[in-house]
Structure 1
Amino acid sequence: MRVFGLLLLLFGLCGSGAHGEGGGLGEVGEISQFQKTAPRDADEESTKQTTEQTTTDIWGEVRALRDMVVELKVELRNMKARVKDSESQVKDLKAELIVTKVLVDLLQKENSVQETRLTVTESITSDLERKNADLQIRLSSSEYELLVSKSRIDQLEREDVEIPKVAFYSALTDAGNVGPYKTDITLKYSKVFTNTGDAYNPATGFFTAPVKGVYSFQFTVCGNHKGNMGVYVYKNKQRMMYNAEWWANAGYEYLSNSVVLELIAGDEVHLVLPAGFFVFDNLNNHSTFSGSLLFPL
């Protein structure tokens, strides 16, 4: 508004100057009139001085306006520079935003990959945990079976230690014929080759059971001349078996048999030569008596 007012004032001064110049054309004709009206000339002089002073103030305002325009131009250039800087900063921010978006996308993809890996890892871990549980169950079962097996082995070892080992094998004599006699006699198999457990006594011809169990006995009777050969098998005082044969020719003749008996500890088994019978034996061990424990009861 100030500038607009100054412009209007300039236009007004220009109009006043034009009127002054027109008045100058009649200056000669009006001299006399001017001389006659001196007070009016004084007013005009005052008005002229006022106009000159006003003109001087206007030019001052114009110069101030020019300076202001210059300052505005400088400020405008500065504002343009700041705008350019702001635009550059905006571009930089846009670039940083794009880079940030790319990084965010990459991080999201990496996060997705990590989640997938985590899911796979959790699945593998679950499988391993299940396998580990199965292995622990199998191990527990194996440990239990091992304990049972060890218990059985220990039991068998104890039983093996506790079960006596009983077996014997003997032959009758080196003297040749034994008998015949008028009465029954106990045969004493004096040549002992095996006597594990010392259950057989060659001095008496008796086998004594050390434990309750089932025992097996075998015997062989040999004859080499005409006559009766045979034996009785006794359990304690009870006759369990009788084997005999009539031999009418020269040369060796054999009979063999076996018996399985259930005995208690202390029971005795022996062979008896019946009256009127004979047996034969020599260095070749033709007549034998043997036995063993099959299993305890």
Structure 2
Amino acid sequence: MIRTEIKVETMVYEIKKTEDNIISTLGDIKQTVADFTDMFSDMRGNITDEMLKRDKEIKRREESFKTLFKETRINLTSDIEAEKEKLIQLQGKLEQAPIAFFAHQVKDVKLDITDEIIIFEKTFTNEGTGYDTSTGLFTAPVGGLYQFVVHTCVYPKNYIYIGLVMEGNVIANTVNYGDSSHCCNTFGVIMRVRSGEKVWVKATVSGSNYQLYQDSYRMNTFSGVLVSN
């Protein structure tokens, strides 16, 4: 009987001990689960924050790329339009008719009036129709760099004073004297002329015995050509 009681007490003690161990183990498991839950929550929070940061950075880069792309497109469009305009202007210059004239045959060879315009009444060439045979004036159809040449002849023992004029200003002039024969002289100039400006030849000094000479071998001429725009 006593042994049975002792055995029962022992069993009760073992059961109690086992119960305490189970309770302790359950407590440890619960704590472990709680720690894991906290750790997972922290990790999830960190991951979420990192994802938000990355998302903001991606959006920032997207906006930066969009801005850069827009600026590049605007600049390229502007450059393309500028080059297109240059090509159009170049094409216009290439397609533009040449401007040149060569006039001869002086209408009135007497140089008895100072500043009188010398009119060359015939033309071999008048591309661009800038030279007027009725007035002796060349009117530039377009602005640019022009070359003008004047060729005049004089009687023996005689003087002539000739000037090339642009808009009333003498640009170049010469004095020609025929010693023992009919002498000819040539002078010219290269100058920039604006569209609509006029160029002509005149007598800078007059006299009753001042007179141009011309025949089939000697020609008085006035010529000009557009060198470049």
> TM-score, normalization: structure 2?
0.56
Deviation at 1:287, TM superposition (A): 1.0
CA contact (8 A) 2:166 2:197 kept: yes
Question: Which protein, 1 or 2, shows the higher relative CO under an 8 Å CA cutoff with sep ≥ 6?
Answer: 2
Matches within 5 A, 1:26-175: 156-161=90-95, 163-173=96-106
- 1:220 pairs with 142, 145, 151, which one? 151
1:268 paired with 2:198, answer: yes
1:289 paired with 2:222, answer: yes
**Number of the residue aligned with 1:178:** 109
Residue 292 of structure 1 aligns with an amino acid whose one-letter code is V
Deviation at 1:153, TM superposition (A): 7.9
- 2:131 pairs with 200, 210, 214, which one? 200
Deviation at 1:154, TM superposition (A): 7.1
Cα displacement string for residues 29-81 of structure 1 (whole angstroms, at most 9, x for unaligned residues)? xxxxxxxxxxxxxxxxxxxxxxxxxxxxxxxxxxxxxxxxxxxxxxxxxxxxx
The answer to which structure has the higher strand fraction is 2
Unaligned runs of 5+ in 1: 1-150
Q: Secondary structure at the match of 1:281?
A: coil
**Number of the residue aligned with 2:213:** 280
- The whole-number CA distance in structure 2 between the counterparts of 1:158 and 1:193 is 26
Cα displacement string for residues 154-205 of structure 1 (whole angstroms, at most 9, x for unaligned residues)? 76443312x34200001133x7x81241433110001211000000001000
Residue 159 of structure 1 aligns with an amino acid whose one-letter code is K
Deviation at 1:292, TM superposition (A): 0.6
| Count of aligned residue pairs for this structure pair | 142
Deviation at 1:261, TM superposition (A): 1.3
- The whole-number CA distance in structure 1 between the counterparts of 2:194 and 2:110 is 32
Aligned Cα root-mean-square deviation (Å): 2.3
CA contact (8 A) 1:216 1:293 kept: yes
Identity between Structure 1 and Structure 2 (%): 24
- If you compute each CA radius of gyration, which structure gives the higher value, 1 or 2? 1
Deviation at 1:222, TM superposition (A): 0.7
**Number of the residue aligned with 2:177:** 246
- The whole-number CA distance in structure 2 between the counterparts of 1:240 and 1:155 is 31
Unaligned runs of 5+ in 2: 1-83
Q: Secondary structure at the match of 2:213?
A: strand
CA contact (8 A) 1:210 1:266 kept: yes
Q: Secondary structure at the match of 2:120?
A: coil
- The whole-number CA distance in structure 2 between the counterparts of 1:286 and 1:178 is 12
Q: Secondary structure at the match of 1:202?
A: coil
Cα displacement string for residues 71-105 of structure 1 (whole angstroms, at most 9, x for unaligned residues)? xxxxxxxxxxxxxxxxxxxxxxxxxxxxxxxxxxx
Deviation at 1:258, TM superposition (A): 1.1
